[in-house]
Amino acid sequence: MTIFNIDQCTGPKYKALASRIEQALQDGDLKPGDRLPTHRQLAEELGVTVGTVTRAYAEAERRRLVEARVGSGTYVRGATVPTTDFQVTDSTVDTGIDLGFSKALELDQAEQLQSSLVSLQDSPILPHLLRYQSEFGLPHQREVGRQWLKQTGLGDFSADDLLVTLGGQHGFFVALLGLTQAGDGVACEGLTYPGLVASANQQGLRLMPLPFDFEGMLPQALEAQCLRQPPRVLYLMTRQHNPTGGAMSAQRIDELAMLCRQYQIMVIEDDVQGCLGDPEAPSFSARHPELTITIASLSKALCGGLHVGFMRGPERWIPALSAAFRATCWMAVPLTTEVACQWLTSGYADRLIATQKAELQWRHQAIQSRFNAAGLDAHCGGFNVWLELPPPWRAVNLVERAAEHRIRIKAAEVFAAGQFAAPQAIRLCIGGQLQRDTLLNAIDTLIQLINSPECGRDSLNHI
């Protein structure tokens, strides 16, 4: 196809090819829904490597020009292409029962915030909280963050190796920005956190989704990828995988760490969902701190609105991380960070976390018993429930059916990285504003839908 000719283009070939795709769209030579040539076909036609075409298509996908469809190919995007982006709805608008987003339980945080703000009004720290600060955060806030990470089982280290972030998502973006360049590979489990996918796409990085089980990424899969093309970065959720709820054993962590040393791969450890688990559970940060940048957040432990997180990394990577931090914002918000630190040091955070753990245990047991009685296999972990669907159900069809009952859930496809084939499964979230009776009524409705012969046949008709 001559519209892809890049003979006269300058600069990296993959970027030139992505720009030619964009130009073809503007000229009308490509239209929404058009299928692009396979990577090999186009490589042979243009006399470039398959890797160049792969990077070009990834760049075009990052620019939201095309979309890759599992088992089908790469297509030009259209105005009606469905998106799997996570978009949080307005909390003041009633949109039904939200089982789609993982949120801390809403208990007495609002009252505690009011008390904290009152206590700050006469504090000598208040003027400092209204001024610009270093990207690292105020020294005492970093020390509180260090103690929090140690308490939750992520290891003991110097506060000098820690930055205060605007939550976990900001930490992931900064870590990728500081460690990689456009075109670098990021290996991850085939089902992963959508925010990681969004950050990688925005920065022109190539996702390398790999097979995994309930202990996380398979070492043999990472080794096979390294033999083909080693990734620059490995992204993992060791203590609580999102969306499945799995956790890594110490042996699995050590096997992956050995490969990371052999192929000089840096590790980004996502512990945002792990803070409510067992502090004795193994982590990359505690076992292999020299390899690991760990991102933690208080959004699940305390509440999302404070938007405070911590990023810990080896000393040699701190300059690159702090430079990336300054490129995204000058600093985390000193005021909300101070409130979070008050909660961590006053004992309130410990009480809140203990209350959440007890309530989540009750919810896990109640939900598990309902699914078991219905002959369904569910796995509960933290705020999430992972449910594999029986044939002939397709997850996207169940999402649509649930929405008709004003219940919002997420299909496994939302978590699929790159062209990884998602299983027919859904993730349910059981935190936030949900009261017990509302939650269990929603679970009962989902069970009725799944076991409905009419719905099952309708799903089969959509295959």
**pLDDT score, position 275:** 84
For the entire predicted model, the pTM comes to 0.81
Distance between CA atoms of residues 100 and 65, nearest Å: 27
For 95, 289, 356, the CA distances from 57, given in Å and listed in that order, are: 36, 35, 44
Distance between CA atoms of residues 212 and 187, nearest Å: 12
Residues whose CB is less than 8 angstroms from the CB of residue 22 and which lie 6 or more positions away in sequence, other chains included = 60, 63, 65
**pLDDT score, position 77:** 78
Q: Which of 94, 71, 75, 9 is nearest to 46 (CA)?
A: 9
Over residues 53-71, mean pLDDT: 81
Edge-to-edge strands of the sheet including 378-381?
378-381, 384-388, 425-429, 410-411
Over residues 145-153, mean pLDDT: 95
Unique residue bearing structure tokens 């469905």 = 82
Three-state DSSP at 175 gives helix
Distance between CA atoms of residues 69 and 57, nearest Å: 12
User: Is pLDDT at 300 greater than 50 in this prediction?
Assistant: yes
Q: Where are the alpha helices (DSSP H) in 242-317?
A: 250-263, 284-287
Q: DSSP for 315-366?
A: GGGHHHHHHHHHHH-S---HHHHHHHHHHHHHSHHHHHHHHHHHHHHHHHHH
Cβ proximity of 287 and 253 under 8 Å: yes
79 confidence band (pLDDT: 50, 70, 90): very low
Residue 274 is encoded by which pair of tokens? Answer: 């792990």
User: Is pLDDT at 84 greater than 50 in this prediction?
Assistant: no
**pLDDT score, position 4:** 86
Give tens-digit pLDDT for 194-226.
999 999 989 989 999 999 999 999 999 999 999
Over residues 339-360, mean pLDDT: 96
Cβ proximity of 191 and 235 under 8 Å: no
Element (H, E) at 200: helix 194-202
Cβ proximity of 305 and 181 under 8 Å: no
Give tens-digit pLDDT for 226-281.
999 999 999 999 999 999 999 999 999 999 999 999 999 999 999 998 888 899 99
Distance of CA 217 to the CA centre of its chain: 15
Buried b or exposed e, range 62-74, using 16+ CB within 10 angstroms:
beebbbeeeeebb
The backbone region for 110, taken as left when phi is positive above 0, alpha when psi lies in -120 to 50, beta otherwise, is alpha
Buried b or exposed e, range 153-191, using 16+ CB within 10 angstroms:
bbbebebebbbbbbbbbbbbbbbbbbbbeebbbbbbbbb
Q: For every residue of 314-329, which 3-state class applies, written as one string?
A: CHHHHHHHHHHHHHHC
Q: Which residues pair with 428 in a beta bridge?
A: 385
Q: Which residues pair with 186 in a beta bridge?
A: 207, 233
Start-to-end Cα distance in the chain: 32
Three-state DSSP at 215 gives coil
Q: Which domains does the chain have, with CATH numbers?
A: 2-76 (1.10.10.10), 97-106+349-461 (3.90.1150.10), 109-346 (3.40.640.10)
Distance between CA atoms of residues 21 and 202, nearest Å: 18
